[in-house]
A and B are shown apart, each in its own frame.
Chain A
């Protein structure tokens, strides 16, 4: 049946996941704990500013990157635009 993966498919997928997971963990162990920007700067050997996320920021470790106020503004703008388009074009 379409959409349902068989046992063989699951096994192959699990093996691929395991191989990728082991490689990723090894890369993480070698490179160490750091944020995305910091990891980039470390990989290239450049000293950047503000690469480290402030401790305890965000909610349960999840945080919004970039500028949260602008982010909220853009999302609100998009919502208004979509609503306007929805009403105007009677989608």
Chain B
């Protein structure tokens, strides 16, 4: 559930432009990848639409744990629709979230980077662990934990590299503070891991064709 909860103006204009530019490059790469596919599976598009709606809704709900947190389902998005379409899904979620005041507009680029990393890591780990963990629950859960851990690392790196305007603390103090924040985030990642494992297991049980490489 890594998401940079800072308002517009926290990063300088230079860094806002840099993160937006990198994010747009990733989106362009995803677009090229999707367009180069001979035929896009309609089921995947439908699944992506469901993922967008579900993740956007759950993104806005504050759960009364650790003082108030939210899930974001990015690992599930990565596992179900893959990194290319998953990048579009997280782009839409971030834009819609900014539209209702959840995160600044200037932060979309940085947040998109964090979320794309989560999507890619979840997809990769879920597939890479297939031989070691043939069962979907544990594999989905571990993929979710790994993806959210990487997302938190990316979030810390982006904030440290950009610097936040008006902060008087030294970089090491900021790193210590953000590490604690990431630690708490990982507590929420446990819930997300269990939810991801359960949903993946259910989908494989009732519609294994939706996860093409999981077909018996």
Contacts and interface: CB of A to CB of B under 8 A. Distances in A.
Partners in one complex: yes
Contacts, number: 175
Interface in B60-96: 60-64, 66-70, 96
Interface residues of A, number: 53
Interface string B173-196: 110011111111111111001000
Interface string B26-67: 000000000000000000001001000100010011111011
A37 B180 contact: no
A64 B188 CA distance: 17
B62 A58 contact: yes
Given A27-B181, A38-B67, A65-B70, 16 more contacts: A2-B134, A2-B136, A2-B208, A3-B137, A17-B145, A24-B187, A27-B179, A30-B180, A31-B181, A40-B6, A43-B181, A44-B164, A45-B177, A62-B64, A66-B97, A71-B60
Given A20-B145, A36-B5, A44 B70 contact: no
Q: Which size bracket describes the interface of B in this complex?
A: 35 or more
A26 B182 CA distance: 12
B204 interface: yes
Interface of A: 2-6, 9-10, 12-13, 16-17, 20-21, 23-28, 30-40, 42-46, 48, 53, 58, 60-67, 70-71, 74-75, 78, 82, 91
Given A2-B204, A21-B187, A35 B68 contact: yes
A75 B100 CA distance: 11
Given A2-B208, A3-B135, A65-B62, A20 B167 contact: no
Given A9-B133, A16-B142, A45-B174, A28 B66 contact: yes
B110 to A, nearest CB: 13
Contact of A36 (B68, B179, B204): B68
Q: Is the interface of B mostly helix, strand, loop or mixed?
A: helix
19 contacts: A2-B134, A3-B205, A4-B136, A13-B138, A20-B186, A20-B189, A21-B190, A28-B67, A38-B67, A42-B177, A45-B169, A45-B177, A53-B62, A61-B64, A62-B61, A63-B68, A66-B97, A67-B101, A74-B96
B203 to A, nearest CB: 9
A70 B61 contact: no
B102 interface: yes
B214 interface: yes
Contacts of B178: 43-44
Given A2-B214, A62-B62, A39 B67 contact: yes
A36 B62 contact: yes
